[in-house]
Amino acid sequence: MTLLLILAALQDPDWRKENFAGPVPDRIARSPNGRIELVSILGTRRWRHADAAGSVGFSPDGKRALSAALGSAVIFWDVATGKEVGTWDNRGVSVLCAAFSPDGKRAVWLAGDGAVTVWDVEKGREIGYIVVDGGPASLAIRDGLVLVGNEDTTVMVYRVK
């Protein structure tokens, strides 16, 4: 999906399907100038984010999306309506990246201060908080594990419930 987003950003604004090689999803998210755009083959919807959205992602079922801002907010969206369904202010610290778990029940995000927040999507609340050393730069979640890639060349593995 990341490669597709990078390729999409390089295409013409109309993002026609024929501009891409290989399978293309019905919707693609991107963030030009602090706005979230959900681009579909049939048109574009714009979701407003107060700050530049440094990370965007879809839930596995495609019904929800999240956007993480360099200004500190994480916003959850209803994809069908484009309405905001939840917001989390990340303690005033910018959010570098975010992701949904494969089952869609959890979301995680990495803040600029090295903190990883684990979020219960169904209940709409924080359920865990991990402080990571080593200059964290990226993360992924799967099967109850959170991987954090660090600038010091290490990858840390954390178990979450």
14 or 36: which leads in pLDDT? 36
For 108-159, write each residue's pLDDT tens digit.
Answer: 999 988 899 999 999 999 999 899 888 888 999 998 899 999 889 999 999 9
What is the count of structural domains for the chain?
1
- Report pLDDT for 127: 92
Domain span including residue 30 = 2-159
The CATH number of the domain holding residue 50 is 2.130.10.10
CA–CA separation, 117 vs 108, rounded Å? 5
- Report pLDDT for 39: 56
- Report pLDDT for 38: 59
Cα torsion 34, 35, 39, 42: sign: negative
| pLDDT at residue 100 greater than cutoff 90 | yes
| pLDDT at residue 18 greater than cutoff 60 | no
User: Which residues in 67-98 are b (16+ Cβ under 10 Å) and which e?
Assistant: bbbbbbbbbbbebeeeeeebebebeeebbbbb
10 or 122: which leads in pLDDT? 122
Residues in contact with 36: Cβ distance below 8 Å, sequence separation at least 6, in sequence order: 29, 30, 46, 47, 48, 49, 53, 56, 65, 67, 77
| pLDDT at residue 53 greater than cutoff 80 | no
For 24-41, write each residue's pLDDT tens digit.
Answer: 455 556 566 666 665 554
* Average pLDDT, integer, range 81-102: 87
**Averaged confidence pLDDT in the chain:** 77
